[in-house]
């Protein structure tokens, strides 16, 4: 899910929220996002937080923050519910 936060937040313009089914998928998704951003757009993450074994990774690109969760951590943090006023740009099932 891609959320447009420009009217609700000063620290980021967009949240990209996704999940992997296990530690290996979470790690692969996060690494893929970082590599593609660097190769395709020349953008390097400002920071990375979390570890796959904890069920979440956050990749900070400044205006875009990417959240990769395990399904249970995504339910627990429920960012979609926290940012209900944000415009949903893209939702994939």
Q: Domain residue spans in the chain?
A: 18-86
pLDDT digits (tens, 9 = 90+) for 48-93: 999 999 999 999 999 999 999 999 999 999 999 999 999 999 999 8
Of 81, 82, 80, nearest in space to 91 by CA: 80
Q: With contact defined as beta carbons under 8 Å apart, do 55 and 72 qualify?
A: yes
Give the homologous superfamily in CATH for domain 18-86. Beta Polymerase, domain 2 (3.30.460.10)
Concatenated DSSP letters of 3-28: EE-TTT-SS-SEEEEEE-SSHHHHHH
Residues 7-55 have pLDDT tens digits of 999 999 999 999 999 999 999 999 999 999 999 999 999 999 999 999 9
Please give the model's pTM, rounded to 2 decimal places.
0.94
Q: What share of the chain is helix, strand, coil (3-state, %, to 5)?
A: 35, 30, 35
């Amino acid at each position: 899910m891609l959320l447009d936060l420009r009217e609700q937040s000063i620290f980021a313009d967009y949240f990209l929220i996704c999940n992997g089914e296990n530690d290996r998928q979470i790690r692969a998704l996060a690494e893929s996002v970082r590599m593609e951003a660097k190769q395709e757009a020349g953008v390097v993450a400002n920071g990375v937080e979390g570890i796959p074994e904890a069920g979440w990774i956050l990749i900070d690109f400044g205006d875009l923050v990417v959240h990769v969760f395990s399904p249970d951590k995504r339910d627990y943090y429920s960012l979609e519910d926290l940012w209900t006023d944000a415009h949903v740009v893209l939702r994939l099932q």
